[in-house]
Amino acid sequence: MKVGIASDHRGIHIKARLCQCLTNEGFQVVDEGTDTADAVDYPDYAKKVARKIAAGELDRGILICGTGIGMSIVANKFPGVRAAPCYDEVMVEMSRRHNDINVLCLPGDLIGERSIDELVLMWLRTEFESGRHTTRVDKITAVELEVATSQQSI
Ligand SMILES: O=C(CO)[C@H](O)[C@H](O)COP(=O)(O)O
């Protein structure tokens, strides 16, 4: 599985740790920065990963900012991206089982470095349940198409 990862300045320590962990676990990791503590703007990094998810160049994405919120707002602008901020086991598990999210947005300010590896591995390994949830995820895609093709009727 090919996983893209990016963070702003508030997530660099978690990103570095996750790159190491995921590589050790056999995932193909694409690191899109940032790599220093210099302040950057999260939209510039969210779009690097989200664009590649939309283009089918990555299977999953992980984005880290202070809260995960800004990264998710940007990522969800891209067609085919389903991104959400998650910070505990329940959110992470349900985001895969029910929503089939393909971009996990993590709050660098709120999440402990020690628990992050297990949380992300759980997210990468949890399957979408399909069934009734497929109908709903398909409706998300339909809404996306509606919005893209008929802006004036919204
Ligand atoms: O969480 C974030 C966006 O959702 C950002 O990481 C946060 O807004 C950056 O703030 P600052 O410039 O004060 O470091």
CA 1 to centroid of ligand 1, rounded, Å: 29
Residues 37-96 have pLDDT tens digits of 999 999 999 999 999 999 999 999 999 999 999 999 999 999 999 999 999 999 999 999
- Superfamily of domain 2-152 in CATH is Sugar-phosphate isomerase, RpiB/LacA/LacB (3.40.1400.10)
Given this model, what pLDDT does residue 154 score? 55
Task: Kindly indicate whether the ipTM for this predicted assembly is greater than 0.90, answering yes or no.
Answer: yes
Domain ranges of the chain: 2-152
Ligand 1 atom 5, closest CA:
66
Given this model, what pLDDT does residue 153 score? 60
Given this model, what pLDDT does residue 136 score? 98
Q: Give me the active site residues, please.
A: 65, 98
> What crossing angle do the helices spanning 113-125 and 12-24 adopt, rounded to 10°?
50
Residues 19-40 have pLDDT tens digits of 999 999 999 999 999 999 999 9
Pocket test for ligand 1, best of 7, 9, 10 (most atoms within 8 A of CB): 10
Atom number in ligand 1 closest to CA 70: 4
CB 17 within 8 A of CB 116: yes
Pocket test for ligand 1, best of 44, 64, 65 (most atoms within 8 A of CB): 65
Atom number in ligand 1 closest to CA 8: 6
Interatomic CA distance for residues 128 and 151, integer angstroms: 31
